[in-house]
Amino acid sequence: MSEERADGPDAEAAEGGFIRRHVWRHRWRRIGSIAGIVVLLAALFYGGGGWFFSGIIEKDALVVTQGKLDYPIKVTGVTDDTISLEVVGDLGDDQYAGEQWERDLWVGVGTAHVSGVVGPAIERTETTATRRYIPPVVGELAPGDRVRLNVRAYWPNPTLALDQDFRTVAYEDSLGEFPSWLIPGENDEVWAVYVHGKGSNQVEPMRIETSLRAEGLTGLNIRYRNDEDAPHVSGDIARYGQTEWEDLNAAVELALDRGAERFVLVGTSMGGSIVLGFMKNSEHADKVDALILDSPATDIGGIIRHGAADTPLIPGVVNVGPGLTWSAMTIASQRFDISWSDTDYNEIAGDLEVPMLIWAAEEDDIVPIETIEGFVDNADPNLVQFERITNPEASHLMSWNVDPDRYDSVTRAFIREHVAAPARAAAG
């Protein structure tokens, strides 16, 4: 006997419940499928996009490259205090000459073997200029010479640029030997150690070195890993003091072996990161009397985040957001073995107990001034002298170039206030 199907309101309710459960199960399956697709797309977007932008981080912020030097400018006339110049090559091929041609700052002018200094233009056209001129200390420039402009001002070494005695010495660490310049001074107990920025060279800090040598300090202008004529490691990846501080540490130990007792550490751009990495990690940090930092990269992770916020993801529509930036930086950290937290020296600024002179330009297009301000804000205000350059012509590492005389006087006054000269040096 077959079972009869129930009729009536109860049966209709049961059937309706069955249909609703079936519909909801179907809807949840669809929702689950859509969610899975969304997760997959998000994984592809943040994973693939993160990998792509980690390569941008490598190229723009981490890999060390040396610039190509061209001589696209010709000297057409020279007087005691002016020099006339004409563009005869492609300024775009010279990363130094191109960016300095139209700037009315004090910059170097010269060949591979001799350099003077030019100032703001007296007259100019698109391809010619007559500028204020300080002739080379050693040698001379003459009409017909092919030259370049260089924000670093002095090259190729202390003797040829400034008629200063120096000799090459090599310090060693686990990576090998690092040839460096030893510049004798009257004060052989207090040494200034100069650390240049990423992709630069020992010429860069010579603008500051002139002031410290005038105050009698012995100078050690160092090379470090991934520099030319120095050991190269890890695919020429810069790690902003995370590892390079060890090279500075070895240089300080060389100086100690040669009679140094106290130090002034000078860091420009990434050199500032290396100096701060030393202060964070070295057992010799207590021998440092003062720091001079020019456009220091105090937080490379923060610099990258700042740059990503202005990087177009879809041009004219949206920039790279914080989620993709986090993904890219996480992947980059693993790919290139760099720790963003270890290289965030803004976090340790308050722990530093030495006087600091810090130069920064508001229009810096490499290290945003906001990053440096974060360091200054966290540091002991009684220990920081913050020289903020507002001149719109000044960008990265151009505080000296705005007004060399002021830069020199401020730097020398800082040294006289915070670095005691030994009695025999003072007597001399």
Q: How far apart are the first and last CA of the chain?
A: 126
Look at residue 250 in the predicted model and tell me its pLDDT. Answer: 98
Count of other CB atoms within 10 angstroms of residue 150: 22
Distances, alpha carbon 272 to alpha carbons 224, 229, 234, 376, 399, in Å: 13, 21, 21, 13, 15
Look at residue 344 in the predicted model and tell me its pLDDT. Answer: 98
Look at residue 414 in the predicted model and tell me its pLDDT. Answer: 98
Look at residue 26 in the predicted model and tell me its pLDDT. Answer: 55
Nearest to 363 by CA among 329, 398, 338: 398
- DSSP secondary structure letter of residue 63: B
Distances, alpha carbon 424 to alpha carbons 191, 256, 260, 406, in Å: 15, 19, 14, 29
Distances, alpha carbon 228 to alpha carbons 17, 66, 198, 202, in Å: 78, 8, 11, 10
Residues across the chain = 428
Look at residue 37 in the predicted model and tell me its pLDDT. Answer: 43
Q: What angle do CA 161, 163, 165 make, to 5 degrees?
A: 115
Look at residue 43 in the predicted model and tell me its pLDDT. Answer: 43
Nearest to 254 by CA among 279, 226, 284: 284
How far apart (Å, rounded) are the C-alpha atoms in residues 180 and 195? 10
How far apart (Å, rounded) are the C-alpha atoms in residues 226 and 353? 30
* DSSP β-bridge partners for residue 237: 63
Q: Chunked in runs of 10, what are the mean pLDDT values of the chain (428 residues)?
A: 52 54 53 44 53 88 86 95 95 70 93 96 95 96 96 95 96 97 96 97 96 97 96 95 98 98 98 98 98 98 85 48 83 95 98 98 96 98 98 95 97 95 50
Q: Contact, 183 vs 213, CB < 8 A?
A: yes
Q: What angle do CA 375, 379, 383 make, to 5 degrees?
A: 125
Cα atoms in the 13 Å half-sphere on the side-chain side of 237: 16
Handedness of CA 313, 314, 315, 318 (dihedral sign): negative
